[in-house]
Amino acid sequence: MILDGFTAADVDTPGGARIRVRAAGTGPPVVLLHGYPQTSAMWHLVAPALAADRTVVLADLPGYGDSRTGGADVAASGKRAMAADVVAAMAALGHGRFAVVGHDRGARCAYRLALDHPASVSGLAVLDVLPTGDVFARVDAAFARSAWHWFFLAQPGDLPERLIAADPDAFFLRGAAELFHPEALAEYRRAWTRPEVVHAMCQDYRAGAGVDAADDEADRGVRTIACPTLVLWGARGPLGREPDVLDVWRAWAPAATGRALDCGHYLAEERPDETLAAIRGLLAG
């Protein structure tokens, strides 16, 4: 079974969230945060090897998988609130300072965590994202066509939730099923067939278009990320057409290093060995 040897637990946070974590290993701690529309199972090809000499914590983002958010309003799904929940969960596990690795929405939580809680973060890796504020500043026709779900999921009310409920697999998979291990896919499906998880995903994107973008703009040019920062992206994914990924990140994390991998969006599942090696390099530094 995938992630055999990882022990699951639920951690309640002062903000009212409940975070499902899976942990294994001993040594310096690192928390891995998944993306949309997945769960912490996405790390199954990377996490066991990391746990050979690290304490590895896999966390379902608030509202995703088996976690829940700390409130019903959109702000509770903002990355500032999510980051605070992750910090609280790690503290409850005995980890006051740790490295954080995030993919997709998890990467948005990860860099917000590094901005808001710098004393807690020993290293940061962001996989296949640009900062939220920069994404919205760059929206063009090509992005709107390829990433239309950003705008669909962010619609107010319950329209997206009702439409997705008609056929969740058709909406979330859209031809990507072959990329995922069958057991990981079963975990993702178990989550996204639950109405409360779909609602949380929509709240996440509503927050992205609102409080997250506003928080980024408030910090732009004011705060930067000082810890070692790794940026990875897929050459055949959505960032493959962006010529200045590292330049964008260096405005936020001046010492950022990184590169593109020969894959699409799901780096840890498409190129696990290269992803693992890059993360190990960050952690060793």
Cα(33)–Cα(86) distance, rounded to whole angstroms? 9
Catalytic-role residue among 34, 44, 199, 265: 265
**β-strand partners of 123:** 99
Paired tokens of 132: 């939220």
In the chain, alpha helices (H): 47-50, 79-92, 105-116, 132-137, 141-146, 149-153, 159-165, 168-173, 182-192, 195-207, 213-219, 245-250, 267-270, 272-284
pLDDT for the residue numbered 56: 98
Catalytic-role residue among 60, 66, 85, 104: 104
Whole-number percent of the chain with pLDDT over 70 = 100
Paired tokens of 20: 């499902």
Check: CB of residue 80 under 8 Å from CB of residue 74. Answer: no
Helix axes 79-92, 105-116, angle to 10 degrees: 80
Q: pLDDT by residue (tens digit) across 108-157?
A: 999 999 999 999 999 999 999 999 999 999 999 999 999 999 999 999 98
* pLDDT band with cut points at 50, 70 and 90 for residue 228: very high
Strand (E) or helix (H) holding 19? strand 18-24
Q: Is 265 a catalytic residue?
A: yes
C-alpha separations of 125 from 29, 107, 136, 197 in Å: 14, 8, 21, 26
Predicted TM-score of the model (pTM)? 0.98
Q: Is 128 a catalytic residue?
A: no
